[in-house]
Structure 1
Amino acid sequence: MQKHRIILIALFFATLFYSCSEQKKEETKARGIWTKEQANDWYKQQKWLVGVNFTPANAINQLEMWQADTYDTATIDKELGWAADLGMTTVRVYLHDALYEQDSVGFLNRIDSFLSIAKKRNIKPLLVIFDSCWDPFYKLGKQRDPLPFKHNSGWVQSPGQVALKDSLQYPRLERYVKGLVKHFANDDRILGWDVWNEPDNMTGPSYEKVETPDKVALVLPLLEKTFAWARSVNPSQPLTSGIWSGDWSSEDKLKPIEKLQLEQSDVITFHNYDTPEEFEKRIKWLQRYGKPLICTEYMARPNGSTFAGFLPIAEKYNVGMINWGFVDGKTQTKYPWDTWTKNYTSEPPVWFHEILKADGSPYRKEETDLIRSMTGAKPVK
Structure 2
Amino acid sequence: MKVRIHVLIVLISLFFFNCSTQKTSIVQQREIWTSEQANNWYAKQGWLVGANFIPSNAINQLEMWQAETFDTATINRELAWAESIGMNTMRVFLHDLLHQQDSIGLYQRMDVFLQIAQRHGIKPLFVLFDSCWDPFPKPGKQREPKPHVHNSGWVQSPGQYALKDSTQYPRLEKYVKGVVSRFANDERILGWDIWNEPDNMTGPSYEKVEIPNKVEYVMPLLKKAFAWSRSVNPSQPLTSGIWVGDWSTHNVMKPIEKLQIEESDIISFHNYDNAQEFEKRILLMKRYNKPIICTEYMARPNGSTFQGSLPVAKKYNVAMYNWGFVNGKTQTIYPWDSWTKTYSSEPPVWFHDIFQKNGTAYRTEEVEVIRKLANNKQL
Q: TM tier, shorter chain?
A: over 0.9
Counterpart-to-counterpart distance in 2, 1:63 and 1:225: 23
Instruction: Specify the alignment match of 1:236 in structure 2.
Output: 235
Kindly indicate whether the alpha-carbon contact (under 8 Å) linking 1:29 and 1:233 is maintained by their aligned counterparts in 2. no
Instruction: Specify the alignment match of 2:173 in structure 1.
Output: 174
Alignment of 1:132-151 (within 5 A): 132-151=131-150
TM-score (ref. length: structure 1) = 0.95
Counterpart-to-counterpart distance in 1, 2:252 and 2:10: 60
Shift of 1:15: 6.4
Kindly indicate whether the alpha-carbon contact (under 8 Å) linking 1:85 and 1:377 is maintained by their aligned counterparts in 2. no
Instruction: Specify the alignment match of 1:70 in structure 2.
Output: 69
Shift of 1:251: 1.6
Shift of 1:23: 6.2
Instruction: Specify the alignment match of 1:366 in structure 2.
Output: 365
Instruction: Specify the alignment match of 1:89 in structure 2.
Output: 88
Instruction: Specify the alignment match of 1:130 in structure 2.
Output: 129
Shift of 1:26: 2.2
**Code of the aligned partner of 2:244:** S
Shift of 1:252: 2.1
Alignment of 1:319-330 (within 5 A): 319-330=318-329
Kindly indicate whether the alpha-carbon contact (under 8 Å) linking 1:87 and 1:377 is maintained by their aligned counterparts in 2. no
Counterpart-to-counterpart distance in 2, 1:240 and 1:286: 14
Alignment of 1:39-54 (within 5 A): 39-54=38-53
**Code of the aligned partner of 2:219:** L
Residue 105 and residue 13 in structure 1: after superposition, are their counterparts in 2 closer, same or farther (change >3 A)? farther
Alignment of 1:102-251 (within 5 A): 102-251=101-250
Counterpart-to-counterpart distance in 2, 1:16 and 1:376: 59
**Code of the aligned partner of 1:338:** D
Measured on the aligned residues, the alpha-carbon RMSD in Å equals 2.1
SS at match of 1:251: coil
Task: Describe the superposition over 1:340-367 as per-residue Cα deviations: whole angstroms up to 9, x where unpaired.
Answer: 0101000000000000000011000011
**Code of the aligned partner of 1:275:** N
Instruction: Specify the alignment match of 1:274 in structure 2.
Output: 273
Kindly indicate whether the alpha-carbon contact (under 8 Å) linking 1:27 and 1:233 is maintained by their aligned counterparts in 2. no
Shift of 1:176: 0.7
Counterpart-to-counterpart distance in 2, 1:70 and 1:206: 26
Residue 373 and residue 168 in structure 1: after superposition, are their counterparts in 2 closer, same or farther (change >3 A)? same
SS at match of 1:252: coil
Counterpart-to-counterpart distance in 2, 1:228 and 1:370: 39
Counterpart-to-counterpart distance in 2, 1:114 and 1:342: 37
Q: Which consecutive unaligned segments of at least 5 residues does structure 1 have?
A: none
Task: Describe the superposition over 1:270-320 as per-residue Cα deviations: whole angstroms up to 9, x where unpaired.
Answer: 000011110000001111000010000000000000000001000111100
Kindly indicate whether the alpha-carbon contact (under 8 Å) linking 1:97 and 1:159 is maintained by their aligned counterparts in 2. yes
Instruction: Specify the alignment match of 2:343 in structure 1.
Output: 344
Shift of 1:18: 2.9
Q: How many residues align?
A: 377
Return 112-121 or 11-20, whichever deviates more. 11-20
Instruction: Specify the alignment match of 2:78 in structure 1.
Output: 79
Residue 377 and residue 225 in structure 1: after superposition, are their counterparts in 2 closer, same or farther (change >3 A)? same
Q: Which consecutive unaligned segments of at least 5 residues does structure 2 have?
A: none
SS at match of 1:253: coil
**Code of the aligned partner of 1:341:** T
Counterpart-to-counterpart distance in 2, 1:349 and 1:144: 27
Task: Describe the superposition over 1:68-117 as per-residue Cα deviations: whole angstroms up to 9, x where unpaired.
Answer: 00001111111111101111110000000011011111111111111111
Instruction: Specify the alignment match of 1:255 in structure 2.
Output: 254
TM-score (ref. length: structure 2) = 0.95
Shift of 1:376: 1.2
Counterpart-to-counterpart distance in 1, 2:17 and 2:116: 42
Shift of 1:13: 9.2
Shift of 1:375: 0.8
Residue 210 and residue 8 in structure 1: after superposition, are their counterparts in 2 closer, same or farther (change >3 A)? closer
Counterpart-to-counterpart distance in 1, 2:366 and 2:32: 37
**Code of the aligned partner of 1:68:** A
Task: Describe the superposition over 1:24-70 as per-residue Cα deviations: whole angstroms up to 9, x where unpaired.
Answer: 74278421110000000000000211000000000000000000000
Return 247-256 or 235-244, whichever deviates more. 247-256
Instruction: Specify the alignment match of 2:57 in structure 1.
Output: 58
Q: Are 2:298 and 1:299 equivalent residues in the alignment?
A: yes
